[in-house]
Amino acid sequence: MSEHDVRKVLLSTDNLDESIHFYTETLGMSLKFRDGAHLAALDGGSITVALATSADHPMPRKVVVRIKTADVDAAAQSVEANSGGIVKGPYNDAHERRAVVYDHEGNGLSRPGS
């Protein structure tokens, strides 16, 4: 089993209501929860599809894949040492330790700890 677990894909939106409507009415996903006018989570089966405005998105206008890993600090160092970059270095939030990084092509990755 891999030490990494893809948990969520975070999509950027300028209008949360329109995005929720698209994903629920057009694609048939169910709404798991909504946090005001800035964040929502949809049931994507094995992963959560999250919609976020710039108020809650770590890299607005980008898709961010959330990958759970055992050692956030080591993962961030590895990304930076291998042509990626750090948007927000390892930090503790209310729920877990995490970092926001990007790969060598600029694709966003959020690395929460286990």
pLDDT digit string (tens) for 24-74?
A: 999 999 999 999 999 999 999 999 999 999 999 999 999 999 998 989 999
Question: Given 3.40.50.300, 3.40.50.2300, 1.10.3720.10, 3.10.180.10, which CATH number is that of 4-110?
Answer: 3.10.180.10
**pLDDT value of residue 93:** 86
Contacts of 71 (CB under 8 A, 6+ apart): 113
Domain ranges of the chain: 4-110
**pLDDT value of residue 4:** 78
**pLDDT value of residue 11:** 96
Residue 21 has pLDDT above 90, yes or no: yes
Q: What is the pLDDT of residues 66-110, one digit of tens each?
A: 998 989 999 999 999 999 999 999 999 888 899 999 999 999 998
Amino acid identity, residue 34? R
Given a contact cutoff of 8 angstroms between Cβ atoms, the answer to whether 108 and 87 are in contact is yes
What's the predicted TM-score (pTM) here?
0.84
User: How far does CA 49 lie from the centroid of its chain?
Assistant: 9
Mean pLDDT of the chain: 92
Separation CA 7–CA 22 (nearest Å): 22
